[in-house]
Amino acid sequence: GQQVMQIPQYQHVQEGEDFTTYCNSSTTLSNIQWYKQRPGGHPVFLIQLVKSGEVKKQKRLTFQFGEAKKNSSLHITATQTTDVGTYFCAKGSARQLTFGSGTQLTVLP
């Protein structure tokens, strides 16, 4: 079963608004990965975080790993319609990759 919890399950935003999804684990994570799955598509790797407190940015996307390495967040600034999809966090490495339940983002034009 799922070992990482994601909230919220669904999020509707107006284009231009910000969006944040959170990933929480009851155990310390060796690393956390983020994937995006467009409607009808397959998961696509976005980023991997490894270090405590790590922050990485990809254009309008900001990824953060908690100090205790038990939680992570993905923040999108000024959403666009191209951001629509489900965002998954996944715990582990090449030997174990377990996905959260995802946050489905809808961007209203």
Partner 1 sequence: EAEVAQSPRYKITEKSQAVAFWCDPISGHATLYWYRQILGQGPELLVQFQDESVVDDSQLPKDRFSAERLKGVDSTLKIQPAELGDSAMYLCASSLVNRGDAFFGQGTRLTVV
Amino acid at 45: F
96 binds partner 1 (CB under 8 A): yes
Cβ 75 vs Cβ 29: under 8 Å: no
Q: Given its phi and psi angles, is residue 87 left (phi above 0), alpha (psi -120 to 50 degrees) or beta?
A: beta
- With CB under 8 A as the contact rule, the residue among 25, 43, 72, 76 that binds partner 1 is 43
Nearest to 94 by CA among 35, 33, 24: 33
85 binds partner 1 (CB under 8 A): no
Give the position of tokens 């407190």.
53
94 binds partner 1 (CB under 8 A): yes
Is the CB of 16 or the CB of 41 nearer to partner 1? 41
> How far apart are CB 62 and partner 1 at their closest, in Å?
19
Q: Which residues bind partner 1 (CB under 8 A)?
A: 2, 31, 33, 41-45, 48, 88, 92-102, 104
